[in-house]
Structure 1
Amino acid sequence: MDRPVAPPGWPREVRPPDTPDWERTAAAWLLDLCPPDYRRYDGLRRHVVVLARFAVLHVESAQAACRRGLSEARGDLGQVAELSVVEAAVQTFLLEEARLLGVRRSVGLVEDALRGRRYVARL
């Protein structure tokens, strides 16, 4: 039998698919990505694949907010802050955009695994 494989981009906090408690670790990690109020919803805690879909959409909305903030930063913040502060904000948006790109990949991989996709080690 093949041993469980986690593909590149798989979150460290989540055990590979088909290992003991992997779905429990996936649920905990997904809940940490989402707004704290999501923990109140029994349906999200009981149905991890639904939670994964919510997490994907949450991360994608954060990506959209980051892109908007980046596109508006100079015009909007330039009126209320010094140029060095505006440039620091732009750099922060760029860092956050890069971080979210990795998070989106990771949450997508977890969602795919929860939907039944399995990964194979390649040489």
Structure 2
Amino acid sequence: MNDSAPHRTTPPGWPQGVPGPEAPGWQEAAVGWLLDQCPPDYRGYDAWRRHPLALAWIAARHVEGEVSVMREAYRHARVELGPHLPPEALPEILGVLEREGLRLRATARAAALVHAAFTGEHFVPRL
């Protein structure tokens, strides 16, 4: 093992499939991942590809908005949907909302990490 080789790590929560910010070409992979987190119409704006920091900024906000919507939906589902669904449906719907909320929280963390990397922040592993 060569101890002089650089040790590349990514912070916990870094998006899967995107090389770490020390890897060559990571920005292109990150742009693709960020666009996947945004509405499809965002791909039609060349400015997002030309300015990946701006894309990371808006993608992080977009995903945080989705987290907020999911929390709101979870809070109101029982009252607003409960009377209109069969009894077995509400727990199922609440479970889906909970799982989607967890997925979105992880995506929001990943988007924030990519944004931080585009601003030049460096991840320092902690013991």
TM-score, normalising length: structure 1: 0.92
Identify the match of residue 61 of structure 2 among 51, 57, 62.
57
Query: Structure 1 residue 48: deviation in Å?
Result: 0.5
User: Residue 112 in 1 paired to residue 120 in 2?
Assistant: no
Q: CA RMSD in A?
A: 1.5
- Per the alignment, do residues 119 and 2 of structure 1 end up closer, same or farther by CA in structure 2, a change over 3 Å counting? farther
Query: Structure 1 residue 121: deviation in Å?
Result: 3.8
Stretches of structure 1 lacking an aligned partner (at least 5 in a row): none
- CA displacement, residues 87-111 of structure 1 (integer Å, 9 cap, x when unaligned): 1111111111111111111111110
* Segment drifting more, 78-87 vs 92-101: 78-87
Identify the match of residue 86 of structure 1 among 72, 81, 90.
90
TM-score, normalising length: structure 2: 0.90
User: Residue 30 in 1 paired to residue 34 in 2?
Assistant: yes
Query: Structure 1 residue 64: deviation in Å?
Result: 0.8
Moved over 2 A (4+): 1-5, 120-123
Kindly provide the amino acid, as one letter, of the partner of residue 28 in structure 1: G
Counterparts of 2:79 and 2:124 in 1: how far apart (Å)? 48
Identify the match of residue 102 of structure 2 among 98, 106, 109.
98
Query: Structure 1 residue 20: deviation in Å?
Result: 1.1
Query: Structure 1 residue 38: deviation in Å?
Result: 0.3
Stretches of structure 2 lacking an aligned partner (at least 5 in a row): none
Counterparts of 2:121 and 2:7 in 1: how far apart (Å)? 14
